[in-house]
């Protein structure tokens, strides 16, 4: 069942600068799709276009609900490359601010915040300000903010690219567990091949030359939950080895 | 003994004490110099600090002072509010439109470079020495100063935060209150403080020219009568009110609204 359809979209800044052209992609409900490509190929622009942060030149993007009806104003959860938390607000207030229809009942709001913070392993961090958090913790709050709105689609734009590898790996494992638990339709942009294989059901490989096009779509036929240890047995899995070969082909 | 007492204090208290000593030392030196110079000059030219403070006490609790101070405060208050509002509107307009910025910028530069006294003279010539001139002069002088302080805040509002607000569909009023205002607040309060401190001085200056009522006008009257003691007493009394406003109102508001001054810029 389709959750989203990107239909023949193109994005051009000027006549001489077309970022991507005629991209078509169907994304199934509860599926994790990874947009994979080198830096500068237009992944972030594509994510911004999907999130309606930037207009596109041609084509259409449609979101569907469980009854295959078009959703006009989909709820989108977005995790940016950098956390983008409001530094003057506490963790709790950062989450409360984006809750779509904040209930008048404070207890209900607090309960939902507690639940979401528990999901990202940040229980007890409610009253901290972002400058009191580490880079990894900030990004987890950013993920919590994207999850608390109960999104139709979760967009993750290279969410771990600014973190050290150890922290990033821990967060990837945590994210995999959350996605499995919540079954959210997810689009992840990354240039990290292992991250793509670890988290995605399908990997959409973009071309390097402009205008960017879809080069190939790889299915990651590794059952979930995948090995929790990203750098353990997982890396020696023959399927991973084959996908890595395909990615670097 | 006192030194021993100082050493035995906890570090933060000691630090406060040392800061307090330094803060008072400047004023103490000034008072001492004043006292020494006043001893060598006739009393009508420079009264001693003690006689001035006695007169200040009398002035501060007189009906005449509060009547004139309330007039000056009202004018200064209106001038600061109007200047603050207009400079914000101008900053918003300049942020929205490059053409508005192009047309306003030379006027701002002109306002910053023309001496205040010239603005006062021209205003009195055009508007006369009565009526709104006491408010118009400070407004004309303060607007460019406040604009220069406020405009960078509007210009540098975070586009990243605006994107977050758009993605999560924050209502406009929530976006302004919770996202825009905290970014502007440090600049707005700095501008407000400048506006208040310049506003009352310029209002008094304008009142000197308008020959009507208000603290400035009374100071001029006492000056013309060579009563320097009264000039000082009225100045210090009004200064006391402005210090009360600064510490009692502006700083308290700033504490309340600028919760995280340093990180608000990031």
What confidence category does residue A163 fall into, taking pLDDT thresholds of 50, 70 and 90? confident
- Chain A positions touching B174 (Cβ under 8 A) are 97
> Which residues in chain A touch residue B163, judged by CB atoms under 8 angstroms apart?
53, 80, 84
Asked if A86 lies within 8 A of B182 by C-beta distance, the reply is yes
Between residues B19 and A118, which one has the greater pLDDT?
A118
Three-state DSSP class for A88?
coil
For the cut 90, the answer to whether the pLDDT of residue B27 exceeds it is no
- How many CB pairs lie under 8 A apart between chains A and B? 50
- Say if the Cβ atoms of B182 and A88 lie within 8 Å: yes
Q: Do B166 and A78 make contact, defined as CB atoms within 8 angstroms?
A: no
pLDDT in tens, A173-200: 889 989 888 899 999 999 888 889 899 9
Return all residues near A129 (Cβ < 8 A) that are at least 6 apart.
Answer: A87, A88, A89, A90, A91, B260, B263
- How high is the mean pLDDT of chain B? 87
Q: What is the pLDDT of residue B133?
A: 86
Instruction: Give the percent of chain A with pLDDT over 90.
Output: 53
Inter-chain CB proximity A84 and B160 less than 8 Å: yes
Confidence at B167, pLDDT banded by 50, 70, 90: very high
Mean pLDDT of B128-152: 91
Rounded Cα distance, A6 and B9, in Å = 70
Report pLDDT for B263.
45
| pLDDT of B264 over the 60 cut | no
User: Is B99 exposed, middle or buried, given 0-12, 13-18 or 19+ CB atoms closer than 10 A?
Assistant: exposed
Bigger pLDDT: A209 vs B169: B169
pLDDT band at A15 (very low <50, low <70, confident <90, very high): confident
Contacts of A88 in chain B (CB under 8 A): 182, 259-260, 263-264
Q: What is the pLDDT of residues B58-90, one digit of tens each?
A: 999 999 999 999 999 999 999 999 999 999 999
Sequence-separated (6 or more) residues with CB below 8 Å from residue B42: none
User: Which residue is it, tokens 């793509």?
Assistant: A196
User: Can you read off the two tokens belonging to residue B14?
Assistant: 């000691």
**Chain A: nearest CA to B166, how far in angstroms?**
7
Please name the residue that has the structure tokens 């810029």: B265
Task: Calculate mean pLDDT across residues B159-186.
Answer: 94
> What would the mean pLDDT of A47-64 be, rounded to a whole number?
93
Would you state the pLDDT for residue B265? 42
Q: How far does the CA of residue B212 sit from the closest CA of chain A (Å)?
A: 48
Alpha-carbon gap, residue B167 to A1, rounded angstroms: 25
Is residue A56 within 8 Å of A49, Cβ to Cβ? Answer: yes
Secondary structure element (H or E) that encloses residue A9, with its range: strand A2-12
- Mean pLDDT value across residues B175-188: 93
Q: What is the mean pLDDT of residues B212-233?
A: 90
**pLDDT greater than 90 at residue A51:** yes
Give the pLDDT mean for B152-163.
95
Task: List pLDDT tens digits, range A212-222.
Answer: 889 889 998 88
DSSP state string for B59-105: HHT-HHHHHHHHHHHHHHHHHHHHHHHHHHHHHHHHHH-HHHHHHHH
Looking at residues A128-145, what average pLDDT do you find? 94
Query: DSSP code of A128?
Result: -
Task: Report pLDDT for A2.
Answer: 78
Cis bond before residue A188 (omega within 30° of 0): no
Instruction: Supply the pLDDT for residue A241.
Output: 80
**A128 near B CB under 8 A:** no
pLDDT above 60: residue B93: yes
Question: Chain B residues contacting A, CB < 8 Å?
Answer: 160-161, 163-164, 166-170, 174, 178-179, 182, 259-260, 263-264, 266
Instruction: Tell me what the pLDDT averaged over chain A comes to.
Output: 89
Distance CA B153, CA B191 (A): 11
pLDDT single digits (tens) A61-118? 999 987 888 988 899 999 999 999 999 999 999 999 998 666 668 888 899 999 999 9
Closest approach of chain B CAs to the CA of A227, in angstroms?
A: 33
Residues on chain A touching B171 (C-beta within 8 angstroms):
none
pLDDT attached to residue B262? 45
Shortest distance between the Cα of B167 and any Cα of chain A, in A, equals 7
Predicted confidence at residue B9, as pLDDT, reads 57
B chain contacts of residue A149, beta-carbon cutoff 8 Å: 168
Residues in A touching B178 (Cβ below 8 Å): 86, 89, 97
Give the per-residue pLDDT at A104. 66
Burial of B242 (0-12, 13-18, 19+ CB in 10 A): middle
- Give ipTM to 2 decimals: 0.89
- Residue A88 contacts B, CB cutoff 8 Å: yes
Q: Residue B160: list chain A partners with CB under 8 A.
A: 80, 82, 84
The Cα–Cα gap between B122 and B116 comes to: 10
């Amino acid at each position: 069942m389709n959750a989203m359809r990107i239909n023949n979209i193109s994005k051009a800044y000027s006549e001489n600068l077309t970022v991507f052209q005629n991209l078509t992609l169907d994304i199934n409900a509860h599926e994790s799709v990874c947009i994979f490509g080198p830096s500068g190929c237009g992944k972030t622009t594509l994510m911004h276009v999907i999130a309606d942060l930037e207009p596109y030149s041609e084509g259409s993007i449609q979101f569907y609900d469980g009854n295959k009806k078009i959703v006009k104003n989909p709820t989108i959860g977005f995790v940016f490359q950098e956390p983008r938390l409001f530094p003057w607000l506490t963790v709790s207030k950062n989450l409360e601010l984006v809750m779509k229809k904040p209930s008048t009942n404070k207890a209900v709001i607090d309960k939902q915040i507690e639940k979401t913070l528990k999901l990202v392993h940040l229980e007890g961090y409610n009253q901290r300000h972002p400058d009191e958090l580490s880079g990894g913790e900030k990004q987890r709050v950013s993920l919590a903010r994207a999850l608390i709105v109960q999104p139709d689609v979760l967009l993750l734009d290279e969410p771990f690219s600014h973190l050290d590898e150890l922290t990033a790996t821990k967060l990837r494992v945590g994210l995999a567990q959350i996605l499995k638990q919540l079954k959210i339709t997810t689009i992840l942009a990354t240039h990290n091949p292992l991250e793509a294989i670890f988290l995605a059901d399908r990997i959409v490989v973009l071309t390097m030359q402009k205008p960017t096009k879809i080069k190939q779509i790889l299915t990651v036929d590794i059952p979930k939950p995948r090995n929790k240890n990203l750098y353990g047995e997982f890396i020696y899995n023959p399927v991973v080895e084959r996908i890595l070969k395909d990615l670097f082909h | 003994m006192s030194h021993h007492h100082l050493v035995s204090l906890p570090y933060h208290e000691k630090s406060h004490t040392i800061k307090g000593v330094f803060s008072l030392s400047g004023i103490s030196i000034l008072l001492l110099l004043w006292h020494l110079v006043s001893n060598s000059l006739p009393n009508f030219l420079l009264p001693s600090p003690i006689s001035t403070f006695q007169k200040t006490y009398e002035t501060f609790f007189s009906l005449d002072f509060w009547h004139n101070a309330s007039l000056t405060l009202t004018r200064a208050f209106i001038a600061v509010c109007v200047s603050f509002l207009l400079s914000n509107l101008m900053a918003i307009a300049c942020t929205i439109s490059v053409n508005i910025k192009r047309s306003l910028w030379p006027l701002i530069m002109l306002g910053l470079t023309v001496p205040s006294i010239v603005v006062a003279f021209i205003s009195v010539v055009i508007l006369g020495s009565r009526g709104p001139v006491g408010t118009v002069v400070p407004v004309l002088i303060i607007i460019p100063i406040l604009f220069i302080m406020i405009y960078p805040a509007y210009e540098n509002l975070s586009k990243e935060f605006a994107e977050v607000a758009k993605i999560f569909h924050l209502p406009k009023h929530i976006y302004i209150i919770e996202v825009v205002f905290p970014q502007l607040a440090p600049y707005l309060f700095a501008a407000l403080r400048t506006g208040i401190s310049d506003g009352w001085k310029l209002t008094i200056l304008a009142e000197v020219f308008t020959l009507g009522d208000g603290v400035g006008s009374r100071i001029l009257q006492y000056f013309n009568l060579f009563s320097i003691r009264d000039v000082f007493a009225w100045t210090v009394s009004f200064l006391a009110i402005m210090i009360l406003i600064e510490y009692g109102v502006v700083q308290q508001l700033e504490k309340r609204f600028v919760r995280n001054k340093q990180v608000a810029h990031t």
